[in-house]
Structure 1
Amino acid sequence: MDIVPRLIVNSIDATIAAAEAGVGLANLLSYQSAPRIANGQLVEVLADHAPSPMPVSLLYDPGRAAMPAVRVFIEAMREQGRQGAWS
């Protein structure tokens, strides 16, 4: 069975807005959908068919790690990982 999408977008914000508007299903990462599922804006479907978690690596140039923006990004990604965003 071929599935023909009704809407194709190139941003996560547009994907979420379309799902909230009832356009159809959206394929979201857990950290993108969890707050909206928790407050009832979205409902998870096909949970039994979710893919297995995959490992995530964050690689960066050690020389750039001293830059404030890079440090903030690295810490934000570590925090997301601690909260289970990658599972």
Structure 2
Amino acid sequence: MVDIVPRLIVNSIDATIAAAEAGVGFANVLSYQSAPRIANGQLVEVLADHAPTPMPVSLLYDPGRAAMPAVRVFIEAMREQGRQGAWS
């Protein structure tokens, strides 16, 4: 095992990806977050053979809020992302 001392610690996916694009180091993000940048050549995937096993994603919400238009739109958007394989 190798001890790693991070050069940068951030609490935002956008900042993590921006740092990787700027050459600061490696980023560990979910595939749907990095896929567009990998596809257009902004980032390169490394260690793909060592990616963790995909985890199931659950969307939990108060049933009373399901009638709200914004909640329905969000739920449908998440379902569509799942159908497209964004969570794997």
TM-score with structure 2 setting the length: 0.95
Unmatched segments (≥5 aa) in structure 1:
none
* Partner Cα distance (2:59, 2:15) in 1: 26
Distance 2:65 2:32 in 1: 27
Cα offset, 1:69, TM superposition: 1.1
CA drift of 1:78 comes to 0.5
Cα deviation, 1:2-43, whole Å, max 9, x if unaligned, reads 111000001111011100000000001111111000000000
Write the distance in 2 (CA, Å) between the matches of 1:84 and 1:14. 24
Displacement of 1:84 in angstroms is 0.6
Separation in 1 of the partners of 2:58 and 2:6?
Answer: 31
Q: Secondary structure at the match of 2:67?
A: coil
* Higher RCO structure (Cα 8 Å, ≥6 apart): 1
**Aligned residues: CA RMSD:** 0.7
Shift of 1:68: 1.0
Gaps of 5+ in 2: none
In structure 1, distance between residues paired with 2:20 and 2:3: 21
1:34 — aligned with what?
35
SS at match of 1:26: coil
CA drift at 1:62: 1.1
